Amino acid sequence: MDKILWADDEIDLLKPHILFLKAKGYDLTTVSNGRDALDALDNDSFSLVLLDENMPGISGLETLDLINERHPEVPVVMVTKSEEENIMDQAIGNRIADYLIKPVNPNQILLSIKKNLHSREIVNEQASSDYQQDFSKISQLINSAGSVDDWMDVYRQLVRWELKLSETGNPMEEMLLMQKRDANSNFCKFVKRNYESWVTTDDHPLMSHEVFRRRVFPLLDNGEKVCFFLIDNFRLDQWRVLQPLLSEFFNVSEEMYTTILPTSTQYARNAIFAGLMPYDIAKMYPGLWVEEDEDEGLNIHEQELIQTQLDRFRRKEKFSYAKLNDSSAGEKFMQRLNSSKDLPLQVVVLNFIDMLSHARTESKMIRELASNDAAYRSITESWFRHSSSIDIFRRLAELGYKVIVTTDHGTIRVDNPVKVVGDRNTNTNLRYKCGKNLNYNPRQVYEMHNPRKFGLPAPNLSSTFIFALNEDFFSYPNNYNYYVQYYTGTFQHGGISLQEMLVPLVTLTPRV
């Protein structure tokens, strides 16, 4: 039973309210002044305090200060006759749980108590009920999805429920996880049936190599200043936890696009900046394409690739390019903004989330901190809130930039090893393999025997690409147990899943 302390100098007049709350199952202790309230709190445990603002002796606000100092864990609901704004401000500034103005009826008091003591349980129960009602609807969407737009709708619904249920540790999370797996299984089948036509015909969704042409260039044509902000390894659920932080400075317009395969930096990100499929980049600009087996960085020519795209479309805009790998780089970019604030196009690549993903694989401590998707989102939100990134967005809004926030690919938590055999020249990515002597079970992968047909350069004429599906990851039979133990539960990218292929594409317009 929850124990409640009610401090009010007119407590005798509140007997009907007290009897009502007792009938609802609450244990009420009453006092008539602040000193007695503090003594009661020092000598007993209470779940909540109802505190009158205007009492003899020490005032309600003074009592509130002392409660916060001595018992900061106890929520306080201020009850007062005063409607003066400065009283409200002082109370709110002292982090009260609620503010009620007399005369109050018993149901108002009950509502405030429930909001502060039982909201988690009530929200949990309601969320469980609502999700159970939506479960069949989402299942029908999964089974009937026939287009990328349909799958985007499915994914949005799943992310919405994932965020809602994870807030309170709802037991329905396990059912949602099963539904996500079912959705991914069906989505992989959909991609296997349709991907070839997407890259060989004009009838396809918006894809990586078209993002600049179809989203950035039209804004520039309208005379807008644009900042293209690419956050590596960024998923829809992570965007949703960052959105409230950016809504203070921007109006938000959210959509998604479909990444090309492989869903990795070398292919998807270079396609974005060049405005070309990877095969065409390698053919037209061989000096700017880095093969799988080369030692140099796979994304070291991004600035040059952007310039080639501008040149091909005969665009004259000058642009700034920056890659932010740490807080120091972010601070330097902030300083540079003052001198480049009139440039029509800024391009920023932010690598923190990709670094977090890799660190989680390699560091036991990071694995503990980001043990599941909810924790992964939480770290993302905490980093963003306390990094220079949020200051960059605030400054871009002040400078009047429209900001396009997107990514080159998402990531998925893998837990099912799939055996593959390749020679020493086979690439190391766990979600796709490229090689000329691959041995695998074709039912477990998506195969590309003619990479050129899919817009991909191949190191050899006999090279084949294979892609992992769902939550699978590739492992070698030799040293198999090591692979399974080391990589199970890590976040990987390169293959086919909702999380990797359907990614946020958000336009932020500065608030006037």
- Domains of the chain, each with CATH number or no CATH: 3-117 (3.40.50.2300), 120-199 (no CATH), 206-512 (3.40.720)
Where do the H-state alpha helices sit in 201-235? 211, 217-221
Query: At 456, is the secondary structure helix, strand, or coil?
Result: coil
Count CB-CB contacts under 10 A for residue 72. Answer: 10
Where do the H-state alpha helices sit in 212-277? 217-221, 236-246, 270-274
Alpha carbon of 300 to those of 39, 265, 288: distances in Å? 67, 11, 8
Tell me the pLDDT tens digit for each residue of 208-244: 999 999 999 999 999 999 999 999 999 999 999 999 9
| CA dihedral sign, ordered 446, 174, 129, 117 | negative
Name, in order, each residue with C-beta under 8 angstroms of 268's C-beta and a sequence gap of 6 or more: 208, 259, 260, 262, 408, 409
Name the β-bridge partners of 99: 78
Taking the C-alpha atoms of residue 40 and residue 251, their distance in angstroms, rounded to an integer, is 49
Tell me the pLDDT tens digit for each residue of 422-455: 888 888 899 999 998 899 999 999 999 999 999 9
Q: How many residues does the chain have?
A: 512
Taking the C-alpha atoms of residue 29 and residue 108, their distance in angstroms, rounded to an integer, is 19
Taking the C-alpha atoms of residue 9 and residue 50, their distance in angstroms, rounded to an integer, is 12
Taking the C-alpha atoms of residue 70 and residue 501, their distance in angstroms, rounded to an integer, is 52
> Is-contact 78 55, C-beta < 8 A?
no
- pLDDT value at position 354? 64
- Lookup: tokens for 59: 């005032």
Taking the C-alpha atoms of residue 237 and residue 241, their distance in angstroms, rounded to an integer, is 7
More confidently predicted of 367 and 300: 300
Taking the C-alpha atoms of residue 449 and residue 459, their distance in angstroms, rounded to an integer, is 13
Task: Please give the sequence-ordered ranges of beta strands (E in DSSP) within 274-415, or none if there are none.
Answer: 319-324, 345-350, 402-406, 412-413
79-88, 308-317, 491-500: range with lowest mean pLDDT: 79-88
- Lookup: tokens for 349: 């690549």
Taking the C-alpha atoms of residue 174 and residue 128, their distance in angstroms, rounded to an integer, is 11
Q: Is 445 left (phi over 0), alpha (psi -120 to 50) or beta?
A: beta
pTM: 0.83
Name the β-bridge partners of 77: 50, 98
Q: What is the mean pLDDT of residues 11-16?
A: 87
With CA atoms as reference, report the closest residue to 382 among 238, 201, 187, 226: 238
Whether pLDDT at 502 is above 50: yes
Question: Cα–chain-centroid distance for residue 496?
Answer: 19
Count CB-CB contacts under 10 A for residue 379. Answer: 17
